[in-house]
Amino acid sequence: MLRRTAALFASAFALAGVLVGTAALAPAMAQEPKRGGILRMYQRDNPPSASIHEGATFSVNAPFMGLYNNLVMYDHAKELDSFDTIIPELATKWAWGDGGKSLTFTLQPGVKWHDGKPFTAADVKCTFDLVQGKKEDKLRTNPRRSLYDNVLDVVPNGDHEVTLKLGRPQPSLLNLLASGYTPMYPCHVNAAGMRTRPIGTGPFKLAEFKQNEMIRLTRNTEYWKPGRPYLDGVEMPIITNRSTAMLAFISGKLDLTFPTEVTQQVLRDLRTQAPKAICHMGPVNVSTNLIVNRDKPPFDNADLRRAMALSLDRKAFNTIIAEGEASVGGTMLPQPQGVWGMPKEMLESIAGYGPDIAANRAEARKLMEKHGYGPGKRLAVKISTRNIAAYRDPAVILIDHLKEIYIDGELEIVETGVWFGKVARKDYAVGLNLTGNSVDDPDQSFFENYSCKSERNVTGYCNPELEKMFEAQSMETDLEKRKRMVWEIDRQLQEDVARPIILHNHSGTCWHPEVVGFRMANNASYNRYRFEDVWLNR
């Protein structure tokens, strides 16, 4: 029955999913795919490790997703990553039972790990145990643990069947499992091993990971999907300077840019310098936001946090960073690409979202003055951010905006490897952050970023009442009803200044026409790097 509900969701998603960006379709697949060749894509920064379950950035997904398989995944050829594009992978089929409180997967037989050991249902259980922190062997960081709180138990039935027992019905669980963040890990490799010498079942094996220099994947000749992958390997030099990387792309030294690193400005350059390149520009379901640590004085004061939210001029951010092409919204990806985005009127009624910036800031200054701040007594604060352009640039704008309300920010730039641990431990006061949503689904967004216990809830926002609503919407099977519940939650999160969302970025990815079979989704950017269907036409 829930299967039918899921199908219902699916059709609704399909209707809502209107293509807006400048997505260019890959050339028709009429031609017989060619085998061989090395795909060259740059990597924008040094990934902390090869272990996707410990990653919270697609600096980990993009290079390493090809090493693994999921139980289910999104069809890489479709426009959106949604219910109706979920296809089997390690699970050949699945069935809901027990009134939506159990989900049984039938597993593909004959699958082998890269080291030759067979993949079985026990590995599925091991993966869940690892992510849920039930194993002796712990993940170093565990960003998505709270997503699976509803999974009470994982029961293997023989080698090729496994059942997830749930605490309550959760149709969205399939979405979570289809994300690029949910690979299956083997029982026989420990967490540390997966960081440095990862073993997966995927189309590629890790050949080399030279820190700050190069990541090389090589074809898994024993891959269980017949005829895949087409490529002999993927080569990813780590180039931290975007300009250098784009020049390398233009001059043909790279086949593919790092996903979503093409800004509007860069795109204009590419259109003239590499006119044949195929570019996908659109929403990526990554929001730029302000994070404030609620436990650190003076920011334990709600007035200060509210004043900071009021100081934001979202239009200025949008104009500078995305030439006005980004969208403004709450936590969920705004319409039309997003299914769950709040309606415009609702959004504009929220404090700080109104168009009169001067009035907002005047109100913000009053709040600051109430606590003794003013032109003569300014508040000095470190603004932490990650060392990539997409974080640094808005952080500078943020500092300028905060200046209007007696706050003097100084930037603290943190390397990728340090950043995620730092914010997870709440070892910061104020930060400029980007939050990526791997799938356009409220369960992912709410439980991961706003539930009290989640490691990714970096601001320390905790509202048990609202958390009950998270669960209620998660069980709701009527799409329209669920939407309304989601809007209300989202509005409440913004009113509470949980994590003021500044923008929902639109950005691009480009590749040369020789690259066939690669496509970015229009509502997510974490799930399309298996690279098994990609081939080079040269």
Partner 1 sequence: MGAYLVRRFGLMLLTLFGISVIIFTLLRIVPGNIVDILFDSAGMVDPAEKQRIARELGLDLSLPQQYVAWISGILRGDLGYSYVSEKPALEEIAPRIPITAKLAVLALVFSVLIGVPLGVISAVRQNTLTDYALRVLSLSGLSLPSFWLGLLVLMAFVSWFDTLPIYSDRITGFWAQLALFSVPAAAVGFRSSALVMRLTRSSMLEVLRQDYIRTARAKGATRQSVNYRHALRNALLPVVTVIGIEAAFLIGGLIVTETVFNIPGVARFLVEAIRARDYPIVQNLVMLIAVVVVVVNFVVDMLYAVLDPRIKYGG
Partner 2 sequence: MAGGTYQAELNRAGASATGAWSQAWFLVRQYPLGAIGALIMAVFVLAAIFADAITTQSPLATNPRVSLAGPGATYIMGADFMGRDVYARIVYGARISLAVGIGSTFLGCLFGVAIGLASGYLGGWFDLIVQRLMDIMQALPLLVLALVFSAAMGPSLQNTIIAIAIPLVPSVARVIRSNTLALRELAFVEAAQATGMSEWRLAIRHILPNTIAPLIVLATAQLGSTILTEASLSFLGLGVPEPHPSWGRMLSESAAEYMRRAPWLVIFPGLAISLAVFGTNLLGDALRDLLDPRQRG
Q: Which residues bind partner 1 (CB under 8 A)?
A: 46, 48-49, 54, 138, 140-142, 192, 195-196, 210-214, 237, 239-241, 244, 247-248, 250-251, 253, 273, 387, 415, 417-422, 424-425, 427, 455
Choose among partner 2, partner 1, none what residue 463 binds, the Cβ cut-off being 5 to 8 Å by kind.
none
Positive or negative, the CA dihedral 296, 300, 303, 307 is: positive
- Regarding 254 and contact with partner 2 (CB under 8 A), the answer is no
Q: Exposed/middle/buried for 264, CB within 10 Å: 0-12, 13-18, 19+?
A: middle
Helices 389-403 and 314-322: angle between axes, nearest 10 degrees: 150
**Binding to partner 2 in span 394-413, by CB under 8 A:** 395-397, 399-400, 403, 409-413
Neighbouring-strand partners of residue 485: none
Nearer to partner 1, 142 or 179 (CB): 142
Interface characters, 269-308, with partner 2 (x: CB under 8 A): x---------------------------------------
Of 112-120, 281-289, 390-398, 416-424, which segment contacts partner 2 by CB under 8 A? 390-398
Neighbouring-strand partners of residue 279: 510
CA-based nearest residue to 439, from 148, 80, 25: 80
CA-based nearest residue to 294, from 433, 146, 462: 462
Choose among partner 1, partner 2, none what residue 192 binds, the Cβ cut-off being 5 to 8 Å by kind.
partner 1
Q: Exposed/middle/buried for 80, CB within 10 Å: 0-12, 13-18, 19+?
A: buried
Q: Exposed/middle/buried for 339, CB within 10 Å: 0-12, 13-18, 19+?
A: buried
Choose among partner 2, partner 1, none what residue 289 binds, the Cβ cut-off being 5 to 8 Å by kind.
none
Q: CB–CB of 179/124 below 8 Å?
A: no
Phi-psi region of 278 (alpha: psi -120 to 50; beta: other; left: phi over 0): beta
Q: Which of 152, 214, 247, 475 binds partner 2 (CB under 8 A)?
A: 247
CB of 148 to partner 2, least distance (A): 37
Nearer to partner 2, 139 or 357 (CB): 357
- DSSP-assigned letter for residue 374: S
- Regarding 264 and contact with partner 2 (CB under 8 A), the answer is no
CB of 127 to partner 1, least distance (A): 19
CB of 120 to partner 1, least distance (A): 28
- Regarding 102 and contact with partner 2 (CB under 8 A), the answer is no
Nearer to partner 1, 77 or 424 (CB): 424
Task: State the first-to-last Cα distance of the chain, in angstroms, to the nearest integer.
Answer: 48
Choose among partner 2, partner 1, none what residue 211 binds, the Cβ cut-off being 5 to 8 Å by kind.
partner 1
